[in-house]
Structure 1
Amino acid sequence: MRALAATDPYIFRYKWHFLGGVLFVALSTLLAIFPAQIVRYSFDLVGEGIDLYHLFAGTRAQEGVYSLFGRSVLFYGLLIVTMALLRGIFLFFMRQTLIVMSRLIENDQKNEIFQHYQSLPLSFYRRHNTGDLMSRISEDVGRVRMYMGPAIMYFLQLVLLFLLIVPLMLMVNVKLTLYTLLPLPVLSVSIFYVNNLIERKSDEIQRSLAAMTTFVQEAFSGIRVLKSFVREDDSHQQFIRASDNYREKTLSLNFVNSLFFPLILFLIGISTIVTVWVGGQEVIRGTITTGSIAEFLIYVNLLTWPVTALGWTSSLVQRAEASQARINEFMNQKTDIVSRQNISQEIQGDIVFDHVSFTYPDTGIQALRDVSFRIRPGQTLAVIGNTGSGKSTIAALLCRLYDVTAGGIKVDSVDVRDFSLNSLREQIGYVPQDVFLFSDSIRNNINFGLDHPTEERMQQAAHDANVYDNIIRFPEGFDTKLGERGITLSGGQKQRVSIARALVKEPKILILDDSLSAVDTNTENAILNSLQRIMHNRTSLIISHRVSSVKLADEILVLDDGQIVQHGTHEALMQQEDGLYRALYERQLQSEEA
């Protein structure tokens, strides 16, 4: 239960729901017990009334006995019905407090986990896959909810029923009480093991369903590749195997469920038979009345479901504990990307990398080695190099998606670690190498970084990214809905929409991380011409492996294996015959000519 201690603040937050639930559990339990005693009085009254009726046969008193008997039975009957109605009302409020409390806690926990996920650094997402993250915010939270709601509710019912019913039963007859309660522990233990078996098989079904769903999602997302390689039949066979596996596990669970309810009914039947058999013997001996047998039968039925639920709730608690431990594992992870001084100020764009080295914490790969450079306000710096040379790492460090391993980065003479994260990132327009568009309209994708977007800014950004003409050709224009990850658009169009998304913010610092790799030369030149106007008096960082994308920059850095090997203008670097920049330029020029 140590892991579940993390749920205590939620119970305190909704203490009135919890206390109200305890009250309604107690009231509904009392109203379930009282009718059993009334039934005993009624049974005894019927027996005594029949005896008196026959005793006064042929006299005037017989009619009085009959009238009194009728009124008493009617009174007891109305009393039982009234109590049943009141119990139904209290049961309704019991669920409206405890079960609603569990749903509110589930909602709060999901919101807090999602918010916490967003606060964690990129290194966390490199270590954990998306499926695991989603499992903890959906399945694990759902299991904790079952503990916070049904498990607590049924456990409270069981405790109150035992505390109230067992003493009443012992007061009537100790022997009958012991025999009546004897099968109940067996019932609880049986339910516990059978329920664990059901839960285990349910987990297998969930994993099988998740695997099948993932396979279908990948097949449809990669339908172009599937068709171009003519693998439809092979894909269909794989789906058949996954579907058959799911069917077998489902049938296996159905078999266990088929045994579950007969087992419950069998053990309940044994308790009833024992009660009638032993109770009948006690009636014959004269120690109890027939009304006591009826009372005991009601008590047995009242205890049966809570005792059955004890095995179920024990399993729920076990699973909730394991799930909460998994949730705590992530919730206890704290981001190390925090602001030291929380400075918020308007950025001018004077960027200094001072002997920066960086090693990725999850892989141990050193991406940058003693990198130093400066970009003055309004300047455009280009970074070029082969794949894996550390170009994108510079952009990630400037946006403070990671912190440097050694050295420092300053913006306007302020260490980026002292800036408020929101203030820093709001003033940077970042176009990442891996373009991601949401399954939403083009309009909302472009305006993603703005709280109060305007039509003019959006259209101007689309013009500047050279994607406006493409967008207005769609039947719904800017309101065109994009498919998953923007599959509706071509690779070049997705990149240009991503550029428009950065430009619409009118950022102080613009970072283009290989954002023109999917466009042709003519489109690239058109975008660069537009960007040349935009980048005027705006600090810009262009990262690319194509020389054509960087030759308009004021200065160019050439990276190789995380180190700066050349630094200068396009003309100066071209004069270095044995330099990497000229080699890249000639190689790409020959490729274009070919």
Structure 2
Amino acid sequence: MKELKHLNKYFKKYWFKLFMGILITIIARVFSLIMPSYVNKSIQAIEGFIAETITKSEARELLFGYILIIVGAALLSGLFTFLMRQTIINVSRYIEYDLKNEVFDHYQLLNLNFYKKNRIGDLMNRISEDINQVRMYGGPAIMYGIQTITLFACLIPLMFIKAPTLAAYTLLPLPILSVLIYQISKIIHKRSTKVQEFLSTLSTFTQESFSGVAVIKAYGLEPKTNAELETLAVDGKNISMDLAKVNAWFFPLMILLIGISNIFVIYIGGKQFISGEIASIGIIAEFILYVNMLTWPVAIVGWLTSIIQRAEASQKRINEFLKVEPTIKNEVAQSTAITGNIEFKDVTFTYDDTNITALNKISFNIKAGQTVAFLGKTGSGKSTILDLVARLYDVSSGKVLVDGVPVQQLNLNSLRSSIGAVPQDAFLFSDTIENNIRFGNENASLEEIVDVAKQAVVHENIEGFAKKYNTILGERGITLSGGQKQRVSIARALLKDPQIYLFDDCLSAVDTETEEEILNNLKQVSQDKTTLIVSHRVSSAKNADKIIVLENGAIIQEGTHEELNNVEGYYKELYLNQLSEKE
């Protein structure tokens, strides 16, 4: 259970609720032990009446009192059992809540390489299914475990006090059961791990299939996808059946051993009663009730073992991700003011996952309020520059400075809150258009949202929808066209009103007339803002204060539109080609 030690901090956090729950559990079990002894006394009262040692009225009076005690003890036991669930089970929900937040917060701290190496389905399964398995350990396992321990601790000594020989025979099957449970639990642990790993694989497959359903339909891949799912389903069935077959041994074995205990009680107890070693047959009835009271706790041992083994396997998978150290850390606690000066000094950057060097010793300087455009072929390193400015990655060598300070020495939250980024592949949430734009500023009014939508030239499109700004978008904004998604993303960035704008080829899906209108609006909005534009179009770059042309991670040209257009090179060639295409 070493992996489950991670939960100890949560047990300490809710120690009082947990302590009260354990105390209530013990009280509930103690009250439940009252009934068998008073059943014995009731039988003894009847035996006394039959033997004429007590009168009928005395027997009736004794029986009435015993029944009241039995009913009262049962009601109190039920009340405390209810309170027990309200404390311990609630604690397990608190732990589940905290653990999900811990995992999700850690996910947000991890850099982009982590998400390139791990599939979304697996990430989702660890924060949902795995944590649910751990919750079962933090609540039901503790509750039923305490019940079982309390019952054994109180009941077994009581049985030996009342009838040692009968108790010894009654409890004889329990050590055998313990050995069997120990052996089976080891197998359960291995198979539980396989089940959880399979669920991650299944989640990944279904998530990718649903996200890429348009591609599947377009290429007629439904039969192939169904065949793959069928294979996964068969594999999952086999893995789950392997676990179920082991779990299936528990209850039959326990019922068998409890049945043997009942036979011992009746046979040995009967012999002792006949020989006079036991004064009343009521003790046999009492012991039968004790054995049946032990049936559920003994049976639950196997279930608890299964829960703990599953939780151990799940917590191990969760810990694997929690142990991953974020490579991008906020080293500065105090907030930092950002004005927008950006400088690259001999910056080299290589992606860990592909080992591709995207930038190779590049240097440039951007003053606050300037607009700089980056052009170049695909893979030349344009988008990487924007990622380094936002500190989504740290440089391999060299320095990225903002306001003359290396980005590692700036407060990370201050840096990113001063940036409005619009990626090429615009991401929209499954929410209303209004809320998607408001993501840039949650306190913005509807008038402000409409204003930035007009600047992004998407207002008329939105007004054309039946529910206008209250239109619910599909997952990843599938309701909108590519150009509309890009313009909504631009509106979101404009609403944030940051000090630095990062536009990553965000007009690639927009026609040239709309592009020109948006660029004119952006020029007015971003007059005092530092703006970095990545594009493949000269039309998006020609009005910039500076244009930087990249090739294979190196700067090959730098200057204004007029300067670069007057010299032979990549920029002039691109400009002439695109000009002829437009004509």
Asked whether the two chains share a fold, i.e. TM above 0.5, the reply is yes
**Which 5+ residue runs of structure 1 have no aligned equivalent?**
54-63
Counterpart in the other structure of 2:15? 15
Query: Which of 403, 406, 412 pairs up with 2:394?
Result: 403
Q: Structure 1 counterpart of 2:480, which letter?
A: L
Which residue of structure 1 aligns with residue 562 of structure 2? 571
Aligned to 1:2: 2
Per-residue CA deviation, residues 202-221 of structure 1 (Å, 9 max, x unaligned), is: 87777777766665555554
* Aligned counterpart, 2:414: 423
Relative to 1, partners in 2 of residues 1:338 and 1:541: Cα closer, same or farther, differing over 3 Å?
Answer: same
Deviation of 1:270 (Å)? 2.1
Report what 1:158 is aligned to.
148
Say which is worse superposed, 358-367 or 523-532, in terms of deviation: 358-367
Q: Residue deviations 1:515-553, cap 9 Å, x none?
A: 111112222222222222223232110011222321221
* 1:554 matched to 2:545: yes
Contact 2:193 2:310 in 1 (8 A): no
* Partners of 1:124 and 1:166 in 2: CA distance: 54
- Alignment match of 2:359 (pick from 364, 368, 393): 368
Question: AA paired with 2:31?
Answer: L
Pair 1:48 & 2:48 matched: yes
Change in CA separation of 1:105 and 1:238 when aligned onto 2, cut-off 3 Å: closer
8 A contact 2:137–2:307 mirrored in 1: yes
Task: Please say if 1:277 is aligned against 2:267.
Answer: yes
Instruction: Describe the superposition over 1:477-516 as per-residue Cα deviations: whole angstroms up to 9, x where unpaired.
Output: 1111100100000011111111111111112111101111
Instruction: Give yes or no for contact 1:358–1:367 (8 Å, CA) kept in 2.
Output: yes
Contact 1:188 1:311 in 2 (8 A): no
User: How far is 1:92 from its partner?
Assistant: 0.9
Superposition map of 1:111-150 within 5 A? 111-150=101-140
Report the more deviating stretch, 208-217 or 339-348.
208-217
**Partner amino acid, structure 2, of 1:509:** I
- The answer on 1:487 being equivalent to 2:482 is no
Equivalent pair of 2:185/2:305 in contact (CA under 8 Å): no
Provide the alpha-carbon RMSD of the alignment. Answer: 2.8
One-letter identity of the residue aligned with 1:131: G
Specify the code of the residue in structure 1 equivalent to 2:314: S
1:66/1:172 Cα in 2 relative to 1: closer, same or farther (>3 Å)? same
Distance 1:198 1:108, change over 3 A: same
State the shift of 1:449 in Å: 2.0
**Equivalence for 1:499:** 490
The answer (yes or no) to whether the contact 1:3–1:325 under 8 Å persists in 2 is: yes
Normalised by the size of structure 2, how large is the TM-score?
A: 0.92
302-311 vs 472-481, which moves further: 302-311
- The answer as to whether partners of 2:375 and 2:534 remain within 8 angstroms in 1 is yes
2:24 matches 1:24: yes
Bigger shift: residues 173-182 or 487-496: 173-182
The reply to whether residue 477 of structure 1 matches residue 468 of structure 2 is yes
Identify the residue that residue 60 of structure 1 maps to in structure 2.
none
Q: 2:442 aligns to what SS in structure 1?
A: coil
Query: Would the alpha carbon gap of residues 244 and 192 (structure 1) be closer, same or farther in structure 2, given more than 3 Å must change?
Result: same
The structural deviation recorded for 1:255 is: 7.7
Q: Does 1:184 align with 2:174?
A: yes
- Paired with 2:107 and 2:435, the residues of 1 have a C-alpha distance of 23
1:266 equivalent to 2:266? Answer no
SS at match of 1:374: strand
- Name the residue aligned to 2:344: 353
Per the alignment, in what secondary structure is the counterpart of residue 488 of structure 1?
coil
Residues 164-222 of structure 1, C-alpha deviations (whole Å, 9 max, x = no match): 11112122333322221122344455567778878887877777777666655555544
Residue 526 of structure 2 is aligned to residue 535 of structure 1: yes
2:451 is matched by which residue type in structure 1?
Q
Q: Identity of paired residues, percent?
A: 48
Contact 1:184 1:271 in 2 (8 A): no
- Match of residue 103 from structure 1: 93
Are 1:325 and 2:324 an aligned pair?
Answer: no
My pick for the range that moved more, 422-431 or 124-133, is 124-133
Aligned-pair distance for 1:89? 0.7
- Using a 3 Å threshold, how does the CA distance of structure 1 residues 255 and 352 change in structure 2: closer, same or farther? closer
Cα distance change, pair 549–353 in 1 and its aligned pair in 2 (3 A): same
- 5+ residue gaps in structure 2? none
Distance in 1 between residues matched to 2:448 and 2:476, nearest whole Å: 24
State which drifts further: 22-31 or 121-130: 121-130
Give 1:330-349 correspondences, 5 Å limit. Answer: 330-349=321-340
Contact 2:193 2:314 (8 Å CA) reproduced:
no
How many Å apart are 1:452 and its aligned residue?
0.8
The structure-2 alpha-carbon separation of the partners of 1:7 and 1:535, relative to structure 1 and needing over 3 Å to count, comes to same
SS for the counterpart of 1:370 is strand
Separation in structure 2 between the aligned mates of residue 404 and residue 448 of structure 1, nearest angstrom: 29
Aligned to 2:430: 439
Q: 1:343 to 1:33 in 2, by over 3 A?
A: closer
Bigger mean CA deviation after superposition, 65-74 or 156-165: 156-165
Deviation, structure 1 residue 256: 7.5
Q: Structure 2: how far apart are the matches of 1:376 and 1:214?
A: 45
Q: Deviations over 1:433-483 (max 9, x none)?
A: 221100001111111021311223212211111111111111111111100
Residue 13 of structure 1 aligns to which amino acid in structure 2? K
CA distance in 2, matches of 1:239, 1:324: 27
Residue of structure 2 in register with 1:381 after alignment: 372
User: Relative to structure 1, is the Cα distance of residues 25 and 537 closer, same or farther in structure 2, using a 3 angstrom cutoff?
Assistant: closer
2:79 paired residue number:
89
After superposition, the Cα gap between the structure-2 partners of 1:420 and 1:257, relative to the gap in structure 1 and judged at 3 Å, is closer
For residue 52 of structure 1, give the secondary structure of its aligned residue in structure 2.
coil
- Give the Cα separation in 2 of the matches to 1:571 and 1:224: 44
Aligned residue among 120, 139, 163 for 1:173: 163
Task: Please say if 1:35 is aligned against 2:35.
Answer: yes
How far apart are the structure 2 equivalents of 1:7 and 1:250?
Answer: 27
Shift of 1:326: 2.5
Q: For structure 1, which segment, 207-216 or 141-150, has the greater mean C-alpha deviation from structure 2 after superposition?
A: 207-216
